[in-house]
Amino acid sequence: MERAIYGMAMPFNDFYAEPNLENNTYSVERTHRKGVFFDSKIGITLGHDYTQVIGTTVDGLQVQTTEGGVFFKLIPNSPLGWSVYKKVKRAALRHCSISFRKILSEQNAFEEKVCTEIFRSAGYTDEVTVYDLKKIVVHEICLTNGPANELTFCTTNVQDSRLKGLSWDNTSPIPEALILPSERSRFDYEQWMAEETEALSKDIAEFKRNVQKFKGLGGRE
């Protein structure tokens, strides 16, 4: 049997709420299938850490959308990938998250009223603003135990009932009709930035160690 990691990184017809503690407001973003597109290359990481890349759509990752959400399949092919696979299999990793660029959003007054009533019934006095994400471009998925949405999941069980109706045979890594490529892959850019930052941090740490050695040999500042 093929060993792979499966999951749902974004549920549709649901919302994400971000609090602003400075002015006691909530910004709520609603997602819809028709508004979701993909960059020409998608990557999957551990905890949104671009130095911990598990795979990409060039190398073992497939993504697709259904009426339920954004789903993925990853065939691990690296030591990190197999380590993550084992964690998912024993349920040490259980959820997912997703990164995207907002292209178009629209305020939804009706849903604001609904959400405000829900907040008031729960005893909250925060002001609520609701936006429908009309167009977003996804560039990264991650596995995490701290998801923005608890409805996300990951599993190694291809028979999981939450994957019912999905087929990964003879499908392209990204549905071609949903690709909105940018001049430069956002995932490649984020990975490059993370690697450059990590390398710079190592250089700074090495410089500090050398300074301490110099002081230890009797050198002056």
Other C-beta atoms lying within 10 Å of the C-beta of residue 146: 9
Mean pLDDT for the chain?
90
pLDDT for 115: 84
SS3 labels along the chain: CCCCEEEEEEECCCEEEEEECCCCEEEEEECCHHHEEEEEEEEEEECCEEEEEEEECCEEEEEEECCCEEEEEECCCCHHHHHHHHHHHCCCCCEEEEEEEEEEEEECHHHHHHHHHHHHHCCCCCEEEEEEEEEEEEEEEEEECCCCCCCCEEECCCCCHHHCCCCCCCCCCCCHHHECCCCCCHHHHHHHHHHHHHHHHHHHHHHHHHHHHHHHCCCCC
Tokens coding 98: 């997703």
| Residue 27 near residue 107, CB atoms below 8 Å | no
Mean pLDDT of 170-182: 90
Q: Pick 207 or 200 by higher pLDDT.
A: 200
- Tens-digit pLDDT profile for residues 65-115: 999 999 999 999 999 999 999 999 999 999 999 999 999 999 999 988 988
Report pTM.
Answer: 0.85
pLDDT for 214: 66
pLDDT score of 194 more than 70: yes
pLDDT for 220: 54
